[in-house]
Structure 1
């Protein structure tokens, strides 16, 4: 329902601003259909295509069909930048859905804003919409909300000492900032702060340091494959 509402709203916006009623409403999407974040990007792609079909079957938006150009950034920040450039300069889209990940969203949102093309990120980093930009939006709950819920659970369990283990990409950096702010603010002792790379498969060094700090719990903030 959320994707359908977004597509419909974008369609209404574009339909109201385009010159010829017979023209399709042309949208773009940059998603991580492949790569480490494909477990998110592939369902996002399928959902967008499904909702576009539903909208068009119901008559489109103000009588105009919706078209969507979906590009795969392969969970690669450089390819996300190239994809957004293509959507803006070659595909002439009226708005962009995605990217899937926070790091890719943070890397491309300036381009969309400069071109005055609305971009609706699928990711969570609060830096995407803070400070507010009239062309940049996101649909995922902010890091701050997730961290607050985690810490509420930690309090209920009686934990006092926490360690954090975060991925070094945009998503992890944004989450780490919020964790470092809220963990002590909520009365916990932050006893270890370790970072891992997005493609790391061995975290023995980080976990050894964390073990030496004797935390009551470890908060691991990242996406596949690292946390696995």
Structure 2
């Protein structure tokens, strides 16, 4: 009798499982810099994506199809990213890919997703990722052009006319440098000094000394940790009193920890997630932001960074596309290109055949000042 009862339970379980998972799994890939110098970007992206996939699978998947997630670590390296994207496409046969984390690694894999016609939703910021438009490539991170505009608008409003710039010599820094130089005339800004530093440089005193000699009104640094923290500390050591601006590439608490008291007073454009609790209740993103922060903190014991939000938005867009397109790569691509009015962590997404980022400067960025070791929304 006991055996019959156990067999009955097994049968019920199998029938229930079959009804819940009526469809073949949707396999999606992800490429993040989980280890290496930019792990502070890739780790929260990986964590966020795993959390969302688990959540949606518990709720029945997408149209009855569970999500099978395949995540690879690029270590922030272009060569490794190419190896892993090839594996995702040829061996794992994924429907779409989220990531990579960095501009350089994204640009390295673009030719492969274009060749094999696999939708890619990058979590990196460089404008070159989507301009000119590439049919199979999208991104969720706010573009550096929008970030530059936010800084330059503040400069124009506050009488800052001469700036010195110091940018990292990688894909992110190069793209930011190009936008800083291209947009300066539009805002009446003169770049009086243009300096570079290497991704592994640990002392920017020589570059900053040359910038100081030009006596700019402000300094703009474009890079990701740890370089920008070194720039902040070196400026303080040199006694430079100019306003220091950072890019959105440092929008994590790790930057404040690395820079220490040299971070005080720095201004940067960043996503609203850093100051979600300071937003007015009327903000259309506030509820989503607070919900994401609460869920991430409950699961991982810490608040998510702005970078985790890039993965959140990428999955949100892909989920929307899969709901409409199913397991057809071409239809997924088309659905992504026609996303409208999707409220995400970093703005409201409106994609089009000519815009594969879909964000505008009104919702994508707010200006933030670092005060007492924390983020303060500037109004």
Deviation at 1:185, TM superposition (A): 2.5
Equivalent residue for 2:199? Answer: 198
Q: Which range is displaced more, 43-52 or 196-205?
A: 196-205
Matches of residues 144-183 of structure 1 in structure 2 within 5 Å?
Answer: 144-183=145-184
Considering only CA atoms, is the larger Rg found in Structure 1 or Structure 2? Answer: 2
Per-residue deviation at 1:199?
1.0
CA contact (8 A) 2:113 2:119 kept: yes
Runs of 4+ in 1 over 6 A off after TM superposition: none
3-state SS of paired residue (2:69): strand
Question: How far apart are residue 205 of structure 1 and its match?
Answer: 1.6
Structure 1 position 35, deviation (Å): 1.5
Aligned to 1:44: 45
Q: Write the mapping of 1:78-93 to structure 2, written as runs, cut at 5 A.
A: 78-93=79-94
Q: Indicate conservation of the 8 Å contact 1:159/1:216, yes or no.
A: yes
State the match for 2:108 in structure 1: 107
Which structure 2 residues correspond to residues 118-129 of structure 1 after superposition, within 5 A?
118-129=119-130
The residue number in structure 2 matching 1:95 is: 96
**Which residues in structure 2 correspond to 1:187-226 (within 5 Å)?**
187-226=188-227
Residues 62-107 of structure 1, C-alpha deviation per residue, up to 9 Å, x if partnerless? Answer: 1111011110111111111111111111111111000001111111
- Is the 8 Å Cα contact of residues 163 and 192 (structure 1) preserved in structure 2? yes
* Aligned position for 2:293: none
Question: In structure 1, how many angstroms separate the alpha carbons of the residues matched to 2:105 and 2:199?
Answer: 13
Please give the alpha-carbon distance, in whole angstroms, between the structure 2 residues aligned to 1:156 and 1:199: 35
After superposition, give the CA deviation of every residue in 1:129-182 in whole Å (9 maximum; x if it has no partner).
111122100001111110000011112221111011001110111111000111
* Conserved? CA contact 2:113–2:136, under 8 Å: yes
TM-aligned CA deviation for residue 108 of structure 1: 0.8
Report if the CA contact (8 A) 1:167-1:173 is conserved.
yes
What is the RMSD of the two structures over their aligned residues, measured on CA atoms?
A: 1.0
Deviation, 1:122, is: 0.2
- Asked if the contact 1:184–1:190 (Cα under 8 Å) also holds between the matched residues in 2, the reply is no
SS state at 2:124 partner: coil
Residue 184 of structure 1: how far off its partner (Å): 2.5
1:214 positional shift: 0.8
Structure 1 partner of 2:65: 64
Alpha-carbon distance in 1 for matches of 2:170, 2:162: 25
Tell me how far apart the structure 2 counterparts of residues 151 and 185 of structure 1 sit (CA, whole Å).
9
TM-score, normalised with respect to structure 2: 0.54
1:27 aligns with 2:38: no
**How far apart are the structure 2 equivalents of 1:36 and 1:152?**
32
Q: Is the 8 A contact 1:73 1:79 kept in 2?
A: yes
> Matched residues in 2 for 1:149 and 1:204: separation?
27
* Alignment deviations for residues 163-212 of structure 1 (CA, whole Å, 9 cap, x no partner): 11001110111111000111123111110000111111111221111111
Q: Partners of 2:161 and 2:173 in 1: how far apart?
A: 23
Gaps of at least 5 residues in structure 2 are 1-21, 230-379
- Residue 36 of structure 1 aligns to a residue whose secondary structure is coil
CA distance in structure 2 between the aligned counterparts of 1:206 and 1:82, rounded to whole angstroms? 36
Distance between the aligned counterparts of 1:209 and 1:82, measured in 2? Answer: 41
Partner of 2:184: helix, strand, or coil?
helix
Q: Distance in 2 between matches of 1:199 and 1:110?
A: 27
- Give, in whole Å, the separation in 1 of the partners of 2:202 and 2:184: 27
Give the TM-score, by structure 1 length: 0.89
